[in-house]
């Protein structure tokens, strides 16, 4: 359990457990295996202790225990992070998944969100008032990890990144102190949590600005044969260059899943999925998105008005927990013809039926914010690419990972040099690409609030010396 050679005294463990409002689990306890399991099935780590926090006092107690006993500390929000940093071997796992309340102020258009909440939790509460904040695209994703890494989704072009809509946080820092951070209080700490990952403490509450969205939006899928991908990708790229901020059109290269609206003979074949979304008036969106829907000869077009919260769950069936996942990422200022050709080449060699390559359109509102305004630096990105490799059999690990790495390398000459932190699977130096020009300032904030690097189970920023 120890991060050093010093063993932890059993009395200290007993005292820690007795002081918790929540549970303290050990490997022999019945719920231990269920609690340590996270979304990515590749992660199989065994913490010595799991503290299931019920509130802020439990978080403070866990941080103090880890610091005083010099043990590795891993923080779990919803457990969705691809790298698996939510769980450690031998140390203390702080499980925040029971802290998932969402409190909406409909008049002030804000929401206060606990760190165990998922996107579905937030959407359910905010959409009751016709409000939303930019989040991701899979409703089981945790709000905490998504936000700390930057956060983007269907509303990003209209209202910015998730961190651009973060008004304040309550955060327990390495000394066990609960601090409030905002533009007016602990400003450098607030700057750091907006894209600096979990490097500075345990956030116990996020306060978000909300915007009027839906409840009905125009969105859906337009599916093309893989052979049409080169032409359609170029068409969508050209459309996106002049599209309004309310429009977001994403592109996915993959094998056709057995969806009910796809002909059976297409299942398992190469396809391109174009995903148009319009954040404004539905009738206006019909006109704006018409050039996307009227182009070429799609296999299927299932774009229609949807409840926003419902559309946020569209891809959940393809992203269930327990599968093995390895991801890579690049940002792009534009999708050149050469980048498109390379992506199609590798898409024809996808290593598993569940794997995919997606290009999420960014730009718009998020691009008009200076690169040093928040810790998230990549304001020049028009697209974020996820090399989403996903499979079931551990025997396929080497083959699937090798494909992802090769594709990542092949796309590098066409990319900006930045990557999206939440899409990094392992510590291969990519965190330097994720933090970019803000790396040194992050190291200085780290030195101020976590000089001994207690919070290191993350895309780590080492304290400045």
Q: What's the pLDDT tens digit per position in 110-157?
A: 999 999 999 999 999 999 999 999 999 999 999 999 999 999 999 999
pLDDT in the model for residue 2:
42
Peptide bond into 215 cis (omega under 30): yes
pLDDT in the model for residue 456:
96
Quote the CA–CA distance of 99 and 58 in Å, as a whole number.
11
| This prediction's pTM | 0.95
Q: What is the largest CA-CA distance in the chain?
A: 70
| The dihedral sign for the CA sequence 357, 231, 221, 362 | positive
Residue 274 parent element (H or E): strand 270-278
Q: Is 284 helix (H, G, I), strand (E, B) or coil?
A: helix
DSSP secondary structure letter of residue 371: T
Q: Is 169 helix (H, G, I), strand (E, B) or coil?
A: strand
Q: What's the pLDDT tens digit per position in 177-216?
A: 999 999 999 999 999 999 999 999 999 999 999 999 999 9
CB atoms within 10 A of CB 257: 16
pLDDT in the model for residue 9:
79
Kindly report the backbone phi and psi dihedral angles of residue 206, in degrees, each rounded to the nearest multiple of 5, phi listed first. Answer: -115, 135
Q: What's the pLDDT tens digit per position in 392-428?
A: 999 999 999 999 999 999 999 999 999 999 999 877 6
Class of residue 6 by CB neighbours under 10 A (exposed 0-12, middle 13-18, buried 19+) = exposed
Q: What is the Cα gyration radius of the chain?
A: 22
Mean pLDDT for all residues in the chain = 95
Kindly report the backbone phi and psi dihedral angles of residue 369, in degrees, each rounded to the nearest multiple of 5, phi listed first. Answer: -100, 135
> What domains does the chain contain, in order, with CATH numbers?
10-95 (3.30.43.10), 102-213+436-449 (3.30.465.10), 216-432 (3.40.462.20)
Quote the CA–CA distance of 283 and 288 in Å, as a whole number.
9
pLDDT in the model for residue 7:
56
Nearest in space to 163 (alpha carbons), one of 175, 145, 178? 145
Quote the CA–CA distance of 327 and 404 in Å, as a whole number.
7
Where do the H-state alpha helices sit in 245-305? 282-293
Enter the tokens of residue 80. 């969705």
């Amino acid at each position: 359990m120890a991060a050093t050679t010093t063993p932890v005294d059993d009395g200290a463990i007993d005292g820690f457990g007795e002081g918790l409002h929540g549970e303290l689990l050990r490997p022999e306890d019945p719920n231990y295996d269920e609690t340590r399991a996270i979304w990515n099935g590749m992660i199989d780590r065994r913490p010595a202790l799991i503290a299931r926090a019920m509130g802020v006092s439990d978080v403070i107690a866990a941080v103090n225990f880890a610091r005083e006993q010099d043990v590795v500390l891993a923080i779990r929000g919803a457990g969705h992070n691809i790298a698996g940093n939510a769980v450690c071997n031998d140390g203390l796992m702080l499980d925040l998944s029971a802290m998932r309340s969402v409190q909406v102020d409909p008049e002030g258009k804000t929401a206060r969100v606990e760190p165990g909440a998922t996107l579905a939790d937030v959407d359910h509460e905010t959409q009751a008032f016709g409000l939303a904040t930019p989040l991701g695209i899979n409703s089981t994703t945790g709000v905490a990890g998504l936000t700390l890494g930057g956060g983007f989704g269907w509303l990003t072009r209209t209202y910015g990144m998730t961190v651009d809509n973060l008004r304040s946080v309550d955060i327990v820092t390495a000394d066990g102190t609960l601090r409030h951070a905002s533009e007016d209080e602990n400003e450098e700490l607030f700057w750091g949590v907006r894209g600096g990952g979990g490097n500075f403490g345990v956030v116990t509450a996020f306060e978000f600005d909300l915007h009027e969205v839906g409840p009905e939006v125009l969105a859906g899928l337009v599916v093309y044969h893989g052979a049409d991908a080169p032409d359609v990708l170029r068409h969508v790229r050209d459309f996106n260059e002049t599209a309004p901020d309310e429009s977001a059109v994403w592109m996915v290269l993959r094998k056709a899943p057995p969806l009910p609206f796809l002909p059976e003979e297409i299942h398992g074949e190469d396809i391109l999925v174009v995903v148009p979304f319009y954040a404004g008036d539905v009738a206006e969106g019909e006109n704006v998105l018409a050039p996307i829907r009227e182009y070429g000869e799609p296999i299927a077009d299932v774009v229609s008005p949807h409840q926003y919260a419902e559309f946020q769950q569209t891809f959940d069936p393809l992203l269930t927990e327990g599968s093995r996942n390895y991801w890579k990422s690049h940002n792009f200022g534009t999708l050149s013809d050469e980048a498109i050709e390379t992506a199609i080449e590798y898409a024809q060699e996808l290593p598993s039926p569940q794997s995919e390559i997606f290009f999420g359109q960014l730009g718009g509102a998020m691009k008009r914010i200076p690169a040093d305004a928040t810790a998230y630096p990549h304001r020049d990105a028009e697209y974020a690419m996820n090399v989403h490799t996903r499979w079931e059999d551990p025997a396929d690990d080497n083959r699937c990972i090798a494909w992802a790495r090769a594709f990542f390398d092949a796309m590098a000459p066409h990319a900006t040099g930045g990557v999206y932190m939440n899409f990094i699977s392992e510590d291969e130096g990519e965190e330097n690409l994720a933090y970019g020009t803000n790396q040194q300032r992050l190291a200085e904030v780290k030195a101020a609030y976590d000089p001994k690097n207690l919070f290191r189970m993350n895309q780590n920023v080492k304290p400045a010396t």
